[in-house]
Amino acid sequence: MQHLTDIVESVVRSGRDQDMAATRSMHDPIVTTRPVSEASIEEVVVRAPGSLVPVDDGTVVAERFSDVHPGQIVGSIDEAVPLFWQCVATVFGIMSPSRA
């Protein structure tokens, strides 16, 4: 679960936490923008081993549930934070301070 902690800490350190809303599904963080729309929303979900959705050991899957930018990126668990930020930038246009 270290990847989850790493993602949350990176969002808080970025100062962009007020731009995003989050929840989680058991082990998977689910992120969208604030304010949360009452209509359908765009989401980024990060899945890793332990998820209810099977993921290979040692890997993470960052999924973009988006009408405009759907898709997913698969990488090693060590890449969870950069993959998360890549999806957030693609779907929401919110950049990590290191990419801004």
Task: In whole angstroms, give the CA distance from residue 64 to residue 46.
Answer: 9
Q: From residue 48, how far is each of 31, 52, 53 by CA, in Å?
A: 15, 9, 9
The full set of domain ranges for the chain reads 2-92
Q: What is the pLDDT of residues 36-85, one digit of tens each?
A: 888 778 999 999 888 888 899 999 999 999 888 899 999 999 999 999 99
pLDDT at 99: 53
Full-model pTM: 0.86
pLDDT at 51: 86
Transcribe 14-31 into DSSP letters: HT-GGGEEEEEETTEEEE
Mean pLDDT over the full length of the chain = 88
pLDDT of residue 100 exceeding 70: no
Q: From residue 41, how far is each of 21, 38, 92 by CA, in Å?
A: 11, 8, 11
